[in-house]
Amino acid sequence: MSEKKYGIGIDTGGTYTDAVLIDLDDKSVQATSKSPTTHFALSHGIALCLRDLFVDSEIKPNEVEVVAVSTTLATNAVVEKKGDKVGLIIAGYSKPFTLPVVTSLYIGGGHSIIGEEVEELDMDALVRAVTELKSNVDAYVVCSAMSIKNPAHEMVMAKAVSLIDPLPVFMSHEVSQRAGMQERAATAVLNARLRPVMEEFLVGMQDSLMMLGLASNVMIIRGDATPMNIVKTSRQAASTVASGPAATAWFGLTFSPEPNCIIVDVGGTTTDITMIKDGQPTISEDGSLIGPWLTHVDSVKMSTVGAGGDSLAIVDKHGSLRVGPARVLPLSRATELASPTDWMGQGLASTMLTIAEDLSEEQASHNQLLAYLLSHGPATPQQLMNHFDMSELTLINHLADLIKDDLVWETGFTPTDALHVLGELDLGNKEAAMAGAQCLGSAMNLSAEEFSKLVLARIGKEIENGILDHLLTIETGKTLSGFYPEFRNSPVLDISLKLKLPLVGIGAAAQYLLPQVATKLGTTITFPDHFEVGNALGAIRMTVDTAS
**Of residues 206, 200, 204, the one with CA closest to residue 219:** 206
Say how many domains are in the chain. Answer: 2
pLDDT on residue 287:
66
Alpha helices in 123-258 (DSSP H): 123-133, 152-164, 172-175, 181-211, 243-255
**How far is the C-alpha of 307 from the C-alpha of 270, rounded, in Å?**
5
pLDDT at 548 over 50: yes
Phi, psi of 343 (to 5 degrees): -145, -20
pLDDT, tens digit (0-9, with 9 covering 90-100), for 229-248? 876 665 666 677 678 888 98
Phi, psi of 212 (to 5 degrees): -105, 5
Look at residue 209 and tell me if it is in a domain.
Answer: no
pLDDT at 106 over 70: yes
Phi, psi of 142 (to 5 degrees): -115, 135
Average pLDDT score over residue span 138-144: 95
The parent domain of residue 387 ranges over 311-452
Angle between helices 381-388 and 392-404 (to 10 degrees): 120
CB 239 within 8 A of CB 223: yes
**Nearest-5° Cα angle at 353, 339 to 388:** 115
Local structure of residue 184 (DSSP, 8 states): H
Number of neighbours of residue 445 by Cβ within 10 angstroms: 9
pLDDT on residue 147:
93
Q: Give the domain-ending residue among 452, 484, 501.
A: 452
pLDDT on residue 234:
56
Look at residue 501 and tell me if it is in a domain.
Answer: no
**Of residues 322, 335, 329, the one with CA closest to residue 353:** 329
Phi, psi of 226 (to 5 degrees): -130, 145
Q: Give the domain-ending residue among 411, 430, 452.
A: 452
Look at residue 152 and tell me if it is in a domain.
Answer: yes
Look at residue 241 and tell me if it is in a domain.
Answer: no
Q: How much is the pTM?
A: 0.77
Query: Which range has the worst mean pLDDT, 154-168, 234-248, 311-325, 384-398?
Result: 234-248
Which residues, listed in sequence order, are joined to residue 321 by a DSSP beta bridge?
315
Local structure of residue 317 (DSSP, 8 states): T
Look at residue 347 and tell me if it is in a domain.
Answer: yes
pLDDT on residue 89:
95
Look at residue 526 and tell me if it is in a domain.
Answer: no
pLDDT on residue 232:
67
CB 391 within 8 A of CB 368: no
pLDDT at 469 over 70: yes
**How far is the C-alpha of 439 from the C-alpha of 445, rounded, in Å?**
10
pLDDT, tens digit (0-9, with 9 covering 90-100), for 474-520? 887 776 766 666 666 777 777 778 899 999 999 888 999 999 999 99
- 447 and 316 in one domain? yes
pLDDT class of 1 with cuts at 50, 70, 90: very low
3-state secondary structure of 89: strand
Q: Give the domain-ending residue among 135, 164, 191.
A: 191
Look at residue 120 and tell me if it is in a domain.
Answer: yes
Look at residue 521 and tell me if it is in a domain.
Answer: no
Average pLDDT score over residue span 264-290: 80
> What is the residue-averaged pLDDT of the chain?
86
Pairing between strand 280-281 and 271-277? Answer: antiparallel
pLDDT on residue 292:
65
pLDDT on residue 141:
95
